């Protein structure tokens, strides 16, 4: 790997954003001028927030790098720096080639313009020359499958067609270095497969790629190397398997915001206690979370409760809202206890985090990472071979088969043994 030449090199890279205190965000020139006149000597108190700092990164030509990190770890900032969308506050970046950024699909698409016009416009915005677009035009149209609608304004496209066309343009970028953020998660399953295939092609043509994704599977499949960011710094740089493990561990050791007063929401009511009766559960067992709500302000006494179950990658698996089952909670007569029980779907073995929230047409208390539990390995199905194949499904199903006809009899399987 070290024999090939560098494509990108960053040294001591940092980006700071200024957060202005006391002065209430002066966005107009008149306000700034007025502030200066009133307090000629006082400068607004400013705090610098380093979204990324001290980042060293070398990427060789043809390398496909996976960039991982929790929300707010600095992934987007780093991509924006490398993609030249924003300039660094300190450090430097050297680029040996053009950079194409795919931070979003369809940047600059205009609903009134036709498919054809948007291909040229969007391609140019992404940095393709008119000649390159003309050469790739047929491939783009073919990939998106919109031949018949080329001269129709894209506002009449279905959302699926729109996204396919947008991705198709981006997928045909010819820049030497490609930065991709989460765009793989567009379209239906078939199209996602196609996108992944396209990414594989791009990676195999010797171009340098940085891929940000929350889908560990695509990272494992496409990347030879992984960098994990944590609070704006490089926490890991190495082999993909180790990097993914490092990231998953980081995601699991996430410290909840247990300080009630620091949590978002009006705070009229607060979740003061959360407990999980059983923290080590079987796949098919109901997942129960108990919580206690107290009133701190007479402004509100009623609310509904939302519980979001997330897997260890932080992906929401189930969203349970008490309002949907007709439950309002009122803490008028003192603290109250409640419980949410997730019976179905079943959950794969692994660690889970639950976010709780109290709402009343507005956020009252948002308690992310309120509690955690784990589901122990082993499925309540008969055949052991099933495990391997279905581990990749979103959820393990709770299902039955039925058979009607003459031959129902001795050969029919017994129903699986379920303890619930």
Q: Give the residue with the Cβ less far from another protein, 173 or 370.
A: 173
Least spacing, CB of residue 228 vs another protein, in Å = 23
- Rounded Cα gap, residues 297 and 116, in angstroms: 58
Helices (H) and strands (E) in the chain, counts: 9, 18
Q: How far is CA 367 from CA 75, 124, 252, 307, 312, in A?
A: 24, 44, 16, 10, 17
- Nearer to another protein (CB atom), residue 173 or residue 303: 173
E strands of 322-382, at which residues?
329-330, 336-342, 350-359, 363-375
CB 235, min distance to another protein, A = 23
Output 107 or 152, the one with its CB closest to another protein.
107
Give the shortest CB-168-to-another protein separation in angstroms. 17
Task: Give the C-alpha separation, 121 to 132, whole Å.
Answer: 13
DSSP assigned state of 153: B
d(Cα 386, Cα 233) in Å, to the nearest integer?
A: 41
Coil, strand or helix: which one is 34? helix
Give whichever of 121 and 260 is closer to another protein, judged by the CB atom.
Answer: 121
Rounded to the nearest whole angstrom, what is the least distance from the CB of residue 157 to another protein in the complex? 17
Task: Give the nearer residue to another protein in terms of CB position, either 117 or 294.
Answer: 117
Residue whose CB is less far from another protein, 107 or 275: 107
- Distance between CA atoms of 377 and 349, rounded to whole angstroms? 5
Cβ of residue 126: shortest distance to another protein, in angstroms? 6
- The residues binding another protein (CB under 8 A) are 2, 5-6, 9, 17, 27-30, 32, 80-81, 83-99, 101, 103-104, 107-108, 110, 112-113, 117, 120-121, 124-130, 133
Q: How far is the CB of 16 from another protein (least distance, A)?
A: 10
DSSP 3-state of 12: strand
């Amino acid at each position: 790997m070290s024999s090939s030449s560098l494509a990108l090199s960053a040294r001591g890279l940092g980006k700071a954003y200024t957060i202005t205190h006391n002065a209430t965000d002066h966005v107009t020139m008149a306000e700034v001028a007025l502030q200066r006149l009133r307090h000629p000597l006082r400068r607004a108190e400013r705090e610098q927030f380093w979204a990324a700092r001290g980042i060293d990164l070398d990427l060789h030509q043809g390398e496909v790098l996976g960039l991982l990190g929790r929300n707010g770890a600095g992934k987007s900032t780093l991509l924006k720096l490398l993609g030249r969308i924003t300039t660094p506050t300190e450090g430097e970046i050297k680029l040996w080639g053009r950079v194409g950024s795919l931070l979003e699909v369809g940047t600059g698409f205009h609903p009134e313009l036709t498919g054809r016009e948007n291909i040229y416009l969007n391609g140019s915005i992404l940095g393709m020359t008119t000649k390159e677009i003309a050469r790739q035009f047929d491939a783009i149209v073919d990939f998106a499958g919109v031949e018949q609608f080329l001269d129709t304004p894209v506002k009449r496209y279905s959302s699926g067609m729109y996204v396919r066309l947008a991705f198709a343009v981006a997928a045909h970028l010819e820049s030497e270095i490609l930065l991709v953020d989460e765009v793989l998660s567009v379209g239906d399953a078939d199209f996602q497969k196609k996108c992944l295939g396209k990414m594989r092609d791009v990676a195999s043509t010797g171009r340098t790629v940085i891929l940000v994704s929350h889908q560990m599977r695509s990272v494992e499949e496409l990347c030879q190397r992984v960098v994990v960011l944590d609070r704006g710094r490089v926490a890991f740089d190495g082999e993909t398997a180790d990097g993914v493990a490092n990231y998953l561990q980081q995601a699991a050791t996430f410290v909840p915001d247990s300080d009630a007063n620091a949590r978002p929401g009006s705070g009229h009511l607060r979740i003061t206690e959360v407990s999980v009766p059983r923290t080590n559960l079987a796949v098919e067992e109901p997942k129960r979370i108990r919580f206690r709500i107290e009133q701190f302000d007479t402004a509100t006494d009623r609310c509904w409760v939302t519980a979001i179950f997330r897997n260890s990658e932080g992906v929401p698996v189930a969203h349970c809202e008490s309002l949907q089952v007709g439950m309002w909670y009122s803490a008028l007569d003192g603290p109250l206890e409640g419980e949410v029980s997730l019976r179905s779907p079943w959950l794969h073995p692994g660690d889970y985090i639950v976010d709780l929230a109290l709402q009343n047409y507005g956020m009252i208390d948002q308690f992310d990472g309120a509690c955690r539990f784990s589901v122990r390995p082993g499925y309540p199905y008969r055949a052991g071979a099933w495990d391997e194949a279905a581990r990749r499904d979103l959820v393990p199903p709770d299902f039955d088969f039925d058979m009607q006809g003459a031959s129902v009899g001795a050969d029919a399987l017994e129903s699986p043994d379920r303890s619930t």
